[in-house]
Structures are given as structure tokens and as C-alpha cells.
Amino acid sequence: MKGRKYNRLEDGELESAEISPGFEINGKLYIPAAKAMYEYNPATDRWTQKSYPSELGYFGGGAAFSINGKGYLGVGWVHDIGADVGDFFEYDPVADTWTEKASFPGPLRDAATSFSLPNGKAMSVWGWASRRWNT
């Protein structure tokens, strides 16, 4: 993208952000990565470690999105158990806390595409599970 500036993070700045989803709330970016979550504030160009739902353990390839000032994370691969899970959590950035929500109702998957819709709903589609793509 012409005219845009991108700053590379130094190695080790984020604890394993590989295959990590992210979401945006009020102009800040949140990246849940491995067993931690980081908030990026573009106004200060700083990363800050935030709380993380410990129930997910070493988690990756999940769905993440934001709706009405809250972040959502779930349905992905938990490395500690070697399996996909349907767990879903809601993040409150003001309190820096997570609340467990209803489990994902579809087939378990990881590497799904997820996004928020203007009507206050979200979609998590496609993804990989049991050696086939889910829709």
C-alpha cells in the first residue's frame, strides 16, 4: 500500500504470534498469542501485555472479532491437548477480564476466517478440521 509505513517488531517482542487471530477495539489492536494477549496502541507505538483466558492454554488458529466494544476469542487449536475446541470467551478491555461464553455451535475447526458484521453479529467460516475444510 503506497504511502503506508510498517514497523517490524523485534524478535521476541510477542510470545509466538504465529497463526494468531486479532481484533480491534476503540483504535487498539489485540493479539491473543500462545498463552498471552498483547494490546497495540498506535498513539504510543507500544505493545502491552493484557490478561488471557487461561482455560485456552497454548492456543492458536482461532477465531477473533469485536462487537460493541468487547473482543471475542475461541474455536481453535489448543496445543496442550492436541485438539480443536469450541470454547468461546468475551474480553472486556476496561476491566481487562475474560468471561466464558456459549461454545461454538458448529463443527470444531482451526484456521477459520472470522469477522464482525455491522448488525452486531459475527461470522466464523471455513477452517481446518479432520483433514477437510469446513464451511
Distance, in Å, from the CA atom of 125 to the CA atom of 12, rounded to the nearest integer, reads 31
| Paired sense of beta strands 36-41 and 46-50, if any | antiparallel
- Per-residue pLDDT at 131 exceeds 60: no
More confident residue, 135 or 73: 73
- pTM value? 0.80
User: Can you tell me the mean pLDDT for 24-33?
Assistant: 91
What are the boundaries of each domain within the chain? 23-133
List all residues 6 or more positions away from 73 whose beta carbon is below 8 Å from its beta carbon.
Answer: 21, 23, 32, 53, 56, 59, 62, 63, 64, 88, 89, 91
pLDDT at 89 exceeding the cut of 80: yes
Which fold, 23-133?
Neuraminidase (2.120.10)
pLDDT at 113 over 80: no
Q: Which three cell numbers stand for residue 34?
A: 500462545
